[in-house]
Structure 1
């Protein structure tokens, strides 16, 4: 009995006290995003601004971060990638609104809109509420070396296989 209790306490003490967390002053968990974050094109006429994001409590060994935005509700059979930003330096813990396209040393790869950079929400009219998953990924690599036109699915696969930790904030949008 003593060994079992001792082992349980040791395991609890070895667990991290904090987990990676993502927040935003612009978007809230489960809440509808403002038109500021709607795409400009494909029949949408928003401002196409990436929201301000902040994160904390990255695990030891984090050498870079990545941010992805994904809509699992897109009527494609495979969802829709709205943003893939890689190689964010480990000493960065926030991005301001509208940061996409202005990030030094950050690789923004192709989205499902066919171009790199943030592509805002643009669900089909009448399709109902869509979820937009803003995920921060803590990575053990300083740099992921991909071409700009890499498939978003390959980026997602790579992030899932390498992540030390990830945290997601899910906002919604409807037209």
Structure 2
């Protein structure tokens, strides 16, 4: 039997949704460094089975956000200077590549979007709004990543930006 065509519809995997929720909870401090987490508790919290939680924790371990010991415990990784420094270097390199790819494709609308993000950034700094400044910075750089349209860059940034954001 042929597989039905679902062209034009894309539904994210449950594992990816769980991973995004856990990543956000780690970055915002809901799940604190050194805290032990159990997949059953997370599954109950998010209203999912343990399988997507295990898969998400494995991906978060690759990013260095959690540390797992098979058959034992999973803990939220401590914030370490070296890991943060290495992530900063990788993220900077990816943003540089995105900018190099995006610049030839920039149009006046895109440049205005970047200027608007920069104005938001400056306003947030003047008000001492760190969260607003971070959001505006993400918006600015996200525009270049969007225009560069490089899945490898997006994948690497998804992996390492959270390491910086939690620091």
TM-score, with normalisation over the residues of structure 1? 0.28
> 1 or 2, which has the higher strand percentage?
1
